[in-house]
Structure 1
Amino acid sequence: MTTLENRPKTALLVIDVQNGTVGEAHARDAVVANVASLVDKARVEQVPVVWVQHNDEGMPRESDSWQIVAELSRGDDEPLVEKTYLDSFEDTTLESVLAGLEVGRLVVAGAQTDACIRSTLHGALVRGYDAILVSDAHTTEDMSEWGAPPPDQVIAHTNLYWRHQTAPGRTGGTVETKDVDFSR
C-alpha cells in the first residue's frame, strides 16, 4: 500500500533497455523477452507503461547506444522520461508523469541491476511508492574486472534483498514475469 494519496494505480516502469546498457548484458535475450512480455501484458490490461531512457557522454541522445532495443517499441501514448542520473526520479519528469497517471505502485524491469534499477527502486520507496522488482526481467553487464561479483550473483543478490524490502506504509518485493499481477 503506497503512502501517496489518491494514487491507486499501478504502472510498468521500463528502465534503460537501450542498446548501450543491455548490449553486453547477462542473459540479454531472455531478459528483453521478459520485458517485452510485461509490456504486452500491461497494454492488454490498460496499465500505463512508462519508459525511462538514460543519456550521458557515453550514450548521447539520438546515438545508436541511446536507442531502445529493436525488440521493444514505445507506444506513441506511452510516456518517455529522459534521465542523466542513476535514480530515474532524480532531476526528471518521472514524479509528475506518475502523479498525472495516479500511480502509487511501480512494477520495475530493465537495466542495469546494480545501478539504475537499484537506485530507482530505493528512490521510489523513499518517495512513498510501492516498488515491485520483476526478478527475471532485469540485468547488468559483467563488471567483475573492477571488483564486482559476476552478473548472475549481482542479480541474485538484488532479488534476495529486495524480496523483503519494506518501509512504513510501503512495500517492495519481487515477482517473476509469469506471476506479475498489475491489479495488485
Structure 2
Amino acid sequence: MTLRLPGRYYRLYPTIDSPLGHAEDDLELGLDDTALLIVDVYGAGFDDDVPEGLDGIYEVDEATRDMVRNKIRPVKDAARAIGLPTVYLTNYLSPGIDEGNEWRNMSQRVCDVDVLTAWKPPTPILEHSKVIAPDDDDVLIRKQYYSGFHETELDSALRNRGVRNLVVVGFDSRVCLGTTVTDALYRNYRVVVLRDCVSTFEFPETREGGWANFMAIRHIECNVGYTSTAEDFRAACATVDVA
C-alpha cells in the first residue's frame, strides 16, 4: 500500500539566472517504509496554560502555537490513522556537555543561555506540551546538537523499522530540522518536508516577508529533497484504506 503525495522541488537549470523554478513529482511512499519525523516540537508552551520559564528565545509566539496545534498535531493524527510510525527528536542536556564545551559557550554568547543551568531537568523549556507529547508507542530520540543523526540512535531506529522515506515537520528549518534533513540525505533517505509545518527565527532584517524561512525551504527544495503541505499530506492519508 502506498501514500500518494505531491512533492515540490526547485529546478535551477538551464541557467542560474533563468531557472525553470518549481515543479512537482507525484510521490509514492510505501506505508511500510515511511515515517513521520517530528523535530524539536518541545516546550510546554503549546497548551492553554503556559508555565513560567518560557521567556527570551524560548517564548512561544501565536503563529508557532497555531502551527503546532492546528497543523502539526493533525498531521500526526493522520499519520497514526494509517499506521505510519512517528519518531520524535528532542534536545536534552547530555553528559558530554561541560563548561569547556564550545557549543555551550556559543549558546551563552549568542543566545545568553547557559544550557548547563537552563536545560537542567525538570524544565518547561524541554518538556513536551500535552497537545503534541509523544505517545507510548512513538519513538523518542534525544539529541544534544543540531542534527538528529549526530551521536544518536536515530539512524538505527529508522533502519530497524525499514524506513526509507521521511515526512518531516518541526523546528528550526535552518538549524536543527535543516541539518537533520541534510544528514538524512547523506544516509540515502528520501525527505519530504511539510513546508507549512516548519519555521525559523527571523532576524530584524528578514522578519518582513519571512525571508529566513523562505530561504530555508528553498534550500531544501534545491539541495535536500521535496516539500509538501499539511493539507496535501492529510488528504493523501484520507485516501488510504487500511481496513
| TM-score of the alignment, normalized to the shorter chain, above 0.5 | yes
**1:33-182, aligned counterparts within 5 Å?**
33-56=70-93, 57=115, 58-142=118-202, 144=203, 149-150=206-207, 152-165=210-223, 172-180=225-233, 181=236
Deviations 1:84-127 (A, max 9, x none): 01010000010111011110110111111221011001000011
Distance in 1 (CA, whole Å) between partners of 2:158 and 2:129 is: 24
Gaps in structure 2 of 5+ consecutive residues: 1-31, 44-53, 94-114
* Residue 82 to residue 71, structure 1, CA distance change in 2 (3 Å): same
Residue 22 of structure 1, CA deviation: 6.4
Amino acid at match of 1:174: T
Distance in 2 (CA, whole Å) between partners of 1:24 and 1:141 is: 11
Identity percentage of aligned residues: 23
Structure 1 counterpart of 2:63? 27
* Residue 14 to residue 60, structure 1, CA distance change in 2 (3 Å): farther
* Equivalences, count: 169
Deviations 1:116-157 (A, max 9, x none): 011001000011101111100012234x25xx7338222111
TM-score between both structures, scaled by the size of structure 2: 0.63
Gaps in structure 1 of 5+ consecutive residues: 1-7, 167-171
Report if the CA contact (8 A) 1:88-1:94 is conserved. yes
SS at match of 2:67: helix
Q: Which runs of 4+ in 1 moved over 4 A?
A: none
Amino acid at match of 1:14: I
Structure 2 counterpart of 1:15? 39
Distance in 2 (CA, whole Å) between partners of 1:41 and 1:74 is: 15
SS at match of 1:71: helix
Task: Please tell me the root mean square deviation across aligned C-alpha atoms, in Å.
Answer: 2.4
Residue 61 of structure 1, CA deviation: 4.2
Greater relative contact order (Cα < 8 A, sep 6+): 1
